[in-house]
Chains A and B, each alone.
Chain A
Amino acid sequence: MYRYIIKRLLLVIPTLVGAAALVFLLMRLIPGDICVVRLGSGGGTFDERAVQACHAQLGLDRPIFLQFVDFVWGFFRGDFGISMWSGKPVLYEIAARFPVSLEIAIMAVVIANLIAIPLGTISALKQNSPIDLAIRVFSIAGLATPSFWLGILFILAILDFSQAAFGSPWMPPIDYVPIWQDPLRNLSMVIFPALTVGYRTSAVTMRMTRSAMLEVLREDYIRTARAKGLVEHIIINRHALKNALLPVVTLMGIEAAFLIGGLVVTEQVFNLNGIGRLFVQSVQNQDYTMTQALVMLVVAAFVLTNTVVDLVYAWLDPRIRYG
């Protein structure tokens, strides 16, 4: 067992280096030059010398290998460098935007679970009844609907509804204030993107809860509990739910990746100054340092989550370990 743990943990480092190499390479394969974009997007004329000066300042004229070593070594030290677009430290830019994304993500997960777990349980208990059918349709619709389309429709609905009801249109604020500064304003801005992203997550969780619940309900110990005459809802809450939730919990780790993907488009639709938007910008601006840092953070989080999941599975099911 310990050998497996060590092996699995050791695998993390080459994985991260591999990811670093991949993102480094991909970014530089994309044709384009951040200096040219900066100087030329206005449409006027600019000097080749200005471009050279910009390259020198950003360290783009150094040999590729040196740039890569700097990047990887910096990553493991926690030094992500300076954003090539804004000239400010990468961590500063990320930290400025992190609270928004985090708040939306947390709210989305909370909402998702508040909706999903009860509905999934009911759906499992009343399998194949009209309620089950309705809930399943609802959850599949959540998986099928593009989240940005939902966002667009949301905003449209809010504006038109408020115009019809109050005479003048209302929309959530477009600049963010932290929750401790003005909770009402903050929540009014965050609730809609959270709902949009949360709907999809709730769909997945709902389905997983339902199928896990169904499996558990067929287990012998549930039949025994019923035979013993235990009250139904005690059976559900004390026995069934806990066991059913294990795969659901592990699923949440994997769903985090989809959540980030949902955040990227949702932040565009709702004009939120979050990590997703920063990501899209930095890729389009070809800001190597920023993109590399963001990708590495996402990859690191994902790899670590998966490692933990693998270890937990190995602990639970000895067959999966191998010497």
Chain B
Amino acid sequence: MTIVAPNSRAISAIIDDAPEIRRSILLRAWIFCRRQPLGTFGMLIVVITAIAGLSAEWIAPYNPTANDFAAMTEAPSWAHWLGTDQFGRDQLSRIIFGARTALIVGFSCAIVASVAGMVLGVGSAYFGGRLDLYLQGVLDVVMAFPLIIMALAVVSIFGTGVHNVIVAITIPLIPRCARVLRASALAIREVPYIDAARACGFGHNRIILRHMVPNVMAPFLIMLTAFVGQAILAEASLSYLGLGVQEPVPAWGLMLQGGAEEYASTAPWIAIFPGLAIALTVFGFSLFGDALRDALDPKLRDR
């Protein structure tokens, strides 16, 4: 009998048409990469940023906070790949360490906000009635509240520093997540098997955890990845306004404040690279989040 040479397209076609075949993780990942080139690119950026952030001490060529008054505002060169800023600090090292700050802020805000949003959103949808109404009112207020006031208040009362910036950014994000997850949860709540479960005498926790939460997992993950990018952008804006992380902590938004504009004409690398880092990282997370959503949402998959 003839042995047919493996044909990747044929294999994909077979796999697609055979929903019962259990797919190994590797195969799934491969399918994902092929289907979503943008998403793969995004994931690559995320991974690179994560590696930079985690191993900053080992890969950064210089100490990010060491002033070097002899090497101020130097253009990119072999000694300093991305140039130096007005204090003579190496930009590349600051950007690498800045990745750590960005990821800490991004992930902390995203995780806390999404989980809190899920608790509030699902709980609100499940219990309904007056609790839902009041909670929505409170969430409306917090969501409409301008980020800058929240940030200024938190920062002024509790001081600057990464933890307080995280608090300031997380608070406005929670109601956004809660709203979206509540909408999804509401759709599920009306399904008959929830009432049946109640009739069987199952407790609230069990129903919520076993039936409702798994069904909002898709939007939850999407919000989570979206929040990482939004949190990084928010931190950048706050630092630009002077309300975020403070000197001499390396953070991308902070690098764009003050000095960057002052030197934009004479030393543009001070303004360009941190902004590029922010844009690329958020870009990566957004692409990844998009791909995730496409993968999880059956309606949008290709035919």
Contacts and interface: CB of A to CB of B under 8 A. Distances in A.
Chain A in direct contact with chain B (Cβ < 8 angstroms): yes
Interface in A118-173: 127-128, 133, 136-137, 140-141, 143-146, 148-149, 152-153, 155-156, 159-160
The secondary-structure label for the interface of chain B is helix
B145 A144 contact: no
A136 B132 CA distance: 37
A146 B148 contact: no
A93 to B, nearest CB: 17
A156 B265 contact: yes
A295 interface: yes
B256 A146 contact: yes
A35 B145 CA distance: 26
B283 A146 contact: no
Interface stretch (B9-17, B20-28, B149-157, B213-221): B149-157
A32 interface: yes
A211 B300 contact: yes
Contacts of B190: 319
Contacts, number: 148
B105 interface: no
B241 interface: yes
B145 A295 contact: yes
Contact of A215 (B229, B268, B299): B299
Nearest to B36: A128
B187 interface: yes
Nearest to A137: B38
Contacts of A299: 141, 144-145
Contacts of B146: 260-261, 264, 279, 295, 298
A257 B187 contact: no
A15 interface: yes
B240 interface: yes
B300 A143 contact: no
Interface string A266-297: 00100000000001100110000001000100
B79 interface: no
B265 A159 contact: yes
Nearest to B272: A153
Nearest to A215: B299
Given A257-B144, A298-B144, A283 B286 contact: no
A156 B268 contact: yes
Given A22-B141, A140-B286, A152 B271 contact: yes
B240 A265 contact: yes
Given A31-B157, A265-B237, A303 B141 contact: yes
Interface in B239-285: 240-241, 253, 256, 260-261, 264-265, 268, 271-272, 275, 278-283
B82 interface: no
A132 to B, nearest CB: 10
A265 B241 contact: yes
Nearest to A320: B186
B174 interface: no
B153 A19 contact: no
A7 B253 CA distance: 43
A29 B149 CA distance: 12
A22 B186 CA distance: 29
Nearest to A145: B279
Contacts of B141: 15, 18-19, 22, 299, 303
A306 interface: yes
B300 A19 contact: no
A36 interface: no
A152 B144 CA distance: 28
B279 A146 contact: yes
Contacts of B129: 322
Given A146-B278, A149-B275, A319-B186, 7 more contacts: A29-B157, A31-B157, A140-B287, A140-B290, A153-B271, A302-B144, A306-B140
21 contacts: A19-B144, A23-B149, A26-B149, A27-B149, A29-B157, A30-B152, A30-B157, A127-B302, A133-B38, A143-B229, A146-B256, A153-B271, A153-B272, A156-B268, A159-B265, A261-B146, A261-B147, A265-B241, A295-B149, A306-B140, A306-B144
**What are the 6 tightest A-B residue pairs by CB atom distance, in nearest-first order?**
A302-B144, A149-B275, A144-B282, A144-B283, A26-B153, A30-B156
